[in-house]
Chains A and B, each alone.
Chain A
Amino acid sequence: MNTEIIGVVGMFIVTLLLAIPLGKYITNIYLRKKSILDFLFNPIEKFMFRISGIDPNKEMNWKQNLTALLTINFVWFFVCMFILMNQGWLPLNPDGNPSMPPDLAFNTAISFLVNCNLQHYSGESGLTYFSQIAGVMFLQFVTAGTGMAACAVVFNAMKERQTESLGNFYNYFLRSCTRILLPISVITAVILIFSGTPMTFEGKDTIISMQGDTVQVSRGPVAAMVAIKQTGTNGGGFFGANSAHPLENPTYLSNMVENILIILIPIAMVFALGYYLNKRKLSWMIFGVMTIGFLLLLVPTIIQEMKGNSAITVMGIDQHLGSMEGKEIRFGSAASAYWGITTTVTSNGSVNAMHDSFTPLSGAFTMLGMMVNSLYGGVGVGFLNFYIFIILAVFISGLMVGRTPELFGKKVEAREVKIAAIIAILHPLLILAGTALASHYAANDTQMGWWFNGNAKGWLNNPSYHGFSEMLYEFTSSAANNGSGFEGLGDNNPFWNISTGVVLLLSRYLPIIGPVTIAGLLANKKYIPESAGTLKTDTVTFGIMTFAVIIIIAALSFFPALALGPLAEYFSMG
């Protein structure tokens, strides 16, 4: 068999083999059972909580948990804004990079705050080492921890009992960061260092190439940052080219490690749910639905990329390596396609190939991954998104059989379904409204004034259908808190910085607030023991039902937009 395909299959199998024990470990962390790293982290966490004046054992209800979550996020925003706007004079700036202008700092701070990592700058010239470490990398740890903590609150609420107290946000948050994200990052960083990724505080190096050109080589504390960037579904790279850069991702081995990490914790969280609630079958049902969706996107994308660009095929050259524009030889087209889909079904958004140059259908599948946004999904928040679909599926199934819908012994009533529906509709609304606005300006080539230097068409790097795809992708990526891009788009200007910034904020916090609220409301309701009339959620039938809800609500609402962009491009290429 083709070694490129074996590489991809190998990555998925290793991920699965790691995710199951990791899921068990995560459960132990949240249930505060004994675990192997207690000797190290018990004293550290105790110390950190004591200094902060936080009692990690205090039980909180869903409202208190959300308030704590939002407050600390609010603080992080200002810390990051301050660092970015003052990085020019702050320490660790060997290359003398300037401070960020306010609109770019706003977009960058929000983008990392919401775990999206959309980057309208290039790391080599846009950030200092201090910003990389204290601004960006800090948020890569804590925002991943935030998503996982929100997920842990929902896990707790799904237990079969009636309660107000759903654990302590600070405790879930810090334990996620120290005991899950940190150890994985340390191991990864060491592997990267041995693969050839730099970890240094020296500035750019200047060398003369063999042919006599004088060029510079950007360096920095890359390994530490790339490790958490991959682990926490963050995705914001150290260098402009992200994990396509030969220092950020030097070998096929480093590529496998980085790519496994993209979906490792998202899958592990699904298994953690099963261990947590003692419902293993439910985990496998959810994993099954997610994996079928994932494979439906993955397989055709690999085929398309390995087949090559049909417009180049007609030129009569040898395209046996596949479509190579925007791809690296050391990864090849199969591993690039695999990365492309894994990074978009989760909210990671790092890239090892340029998505703008993917063949049209692959572009459509990467966008579809972000549009559904719950096939594995981000660390923590991926399950929260899926939870919304479960609520809707329970509701619709209940209506179909004429019974009051129930989930784990709790009646799902109008209030919960309303919240779920609003959250489910919010995602297409933000994407389509944003794209409509941007393409309205681009189609009329409007003079944008302060918002953009020149006429609106100027922000497109490609004409026609593909230009529309660039704008659609940018808003999809923002609303999915993904952070990858069709990077040809000229997005570092007030129009894109501010519009995507607003989308980022709404699409991060509402989809956290919604599920936590629903879970909190349900937890508070009377527990009805299972009977013959109970809708079983851990069955294949319910899995199919949930899958159908996802297809109808998420996928179909985007079909017209996809038809105007990537599908039209595909058919026009013949």
Chain B
Amino acid sequence: MKTNLLPALKLTLVSLLFFSGLYTIVIWGIACLTPNGGNAQVITVNNKKYYSNIGQSFTDDKYFNSRPSAVGYNAAGSGGSNKGPSNPEYLVQVKARIDTFLVHNPDVKKAEIPSELVTSSGSGLDPHISPEAAFVQIKRIAMVRNMSEDKLITLVTKNIEKPLLGLFGTNTVNVLKLNIDLENAK
């Protein structure tokens, strides 16, 4: 042990400089050369800055609503509800969300509510909903905003992001981008 201690200390020090120091600086240097300079992707609308990958809380009837969040869409932290599938308290909460949704969307049948609109995401910052979850909100928004449903359908369709190469993954809609388009459409 004794013969190994000094070499171990020295090797620790040089590898600390190499892997934590040099590697980090190289990656940081590459990041600085990219278009957004190593910051997350940002959208600027009317001089207001938003992070396009960080979901926002949309609860107002005039917006396409985002999913429930365990951290209130405050990206100072992140996390899910961690509620187990059989937790009675949790199931009551889901039921309450369904009822609330039906009150705000009286024309929607229960069987049409996609489950993600009443369940919270893993990060609490999910920027997306599924296309179905956007379509199901159209009637409400058309009413509140006095817009034609066809126009809203076009808007949502335009915002659908297809699976990677059309092959891998899910269809998604970025709620923030959709709502920005919605505001501009007026």
Query: Residues of A with Cβ closer than 8 Å to B?
Result: 3-4, 6-7, 10, 44, 48-49, 51-54, 67-68, 70-72, 74-76, 79, 122, 124-125, 133-134, 137-138, 141-142, 170, 174, 177-178, 182, 185-186, 189-190, 193-194, 196-202, 204-205, 207-211, 213, 215-219, 221, 223-224, 227, 239-241, 244-247, 250-253, 255-256, 308-312, 315-321, 323-332, 335-336, 351-354, 356-360, 461-466, 469, 486-488, 569, 572-573
Cβ contacts A to B, 20 pairs, < 8 Å: A6-B168, A44-B18, A53-B7, A122-B78, A122-B79, A137-B24, A170-B7, A196-B52, A210-B50, A218-B76, A252-B170, A256-B164, A321-B130, A323-B85, A325-B90, A336-B122, A354-B81, A356-B80, A462-B90, A463-B87
The smallest beta-carbon distance between B28 and chain A, in angstroms, is 6
Known: A318-B132, A466-B86. A124 touches B16 (CB 8 A): no
B contact residues around A134 at 8 Å (CB): 16, 20
The smallest beta-carbon distance between A512 and chain B, in angstroms, is 16
Known: A327-B121, A357-B82. A138 touches B16 (CB 8 A): yes
The answer to whether B75 and A466 have CB atoms under 8 Å apart is no
A218 to B51 CA separation, bound complex (whole angstroms): 11
Query: Residues of B with Cβ closer than 8 Å to A?
Result: 1, 4-12, 14-16, 18-20, 23-24, 26-28, 30-31, 34, 37-41, 48-60, 63, 67, 73-88, 90-91, 94-95, 98, 110-116, 118-130, 132, 163-164, 166-170, 172, 176, 179-180, 183
**Tally of A-B residue pairs with Cβ under 8 A?**
367
A495 to B17 CA separation, bound complex (whole angstroms): 35
- The one of B16, B24, B40, B183 in contact with A196, judged by C-beta atoms closer than 8 angstroms, is B40
A contact residues around B163 at 8 Å (CB): 3, 7, 252
Residue of B nearest to A206 (CB): B76
New A-B pairs, 18, CB < 8 Å, besides A6-B167, A224-B27, A240-B77: A44-B18, A51-B10, A52-B14, A72-B8, A75-B5, A177-B15, A210-B63, A217-B40, A241-B80, A245-B78, A311-B86, A321-B116, A327-B122, A328-B123, A329-B172, A332-B170, A358-B85, A463-B88
The answer to whether B86 and A464 have CB atoms under 8 Å apart is yes
The smallest beta-carbon distance between A181 and chain B, in angstroms, is 9
A462 to B90 CA separation, bound complex (whole angstroms): 9
Residue of A nearest to B83 (CB): A357
- The one of B5, B20, B37, B82 in contact with A356, judged by C-beta atoms closer than 8 angstroms, is B82
By Cβ-Cβ distance, the 3 closest A-B pairs, closest first, are A488-B82, A244-B122, A466-B84
